[in-house]
């Protein structure tokens, strides 16, 4: 039933995984993170990774894949890299 619901594997903490991915050099943030089990013992992952200015998308993608594979045994990853949106400028109200 767990597989049919595409639920995250019980041994993975998605918040921890997101924090670890966000700490990869070149990553601004991660969103739309989804980890599920395709078959018995075969976890898969998809996510959007926003890149810091100047970061190389392929280098970051490989680093994220390596982290997930080595630390969490996630063998299949789909990582969409995107340019990080510019920070919103909030104007101070007039005095």
- What is the model's pLDDT at position 90? 39
Torsion of CA 90, 82, 79, 55, to 10 degrees: -100
Residue 89 scores a pLDDT above 70:
no
Q: What DSSP string runs through 2-39?
A: TTTTTPPPTT--HHHHHHHHHTSTTEEEEEEEEEEEEE
DSSP state of 60: H
- What is the model's pLDDT at position 52? 92
Domains of the chain: 14-83 (3.30.360.10)
> Mean pLDDT, to the nearest integer, of 66-73?
92
- What is the model's pLDDT at position 4? 44
């Amino acid at each position: 039933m767990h597989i049919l619901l595409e639920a995250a594997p019980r041994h993975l903490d998605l918040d921890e995984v997101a924090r670890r991915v966000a700490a990869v050099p070149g990553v601004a943030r991660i969103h739309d993170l989804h980890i599920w089990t395709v078959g018995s013992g075969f976890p898969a992952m998809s996510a959007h990774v926003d890149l810091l200015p100047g970061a190389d998308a392929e280098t970051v993608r490989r680093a994220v894949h390596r982290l997930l594979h080595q630390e969490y045994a996630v063998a299949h990853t789909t990582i969409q890299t995107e340019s990080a949106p510019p920070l919103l400028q909030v104007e101070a109200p007039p005095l």
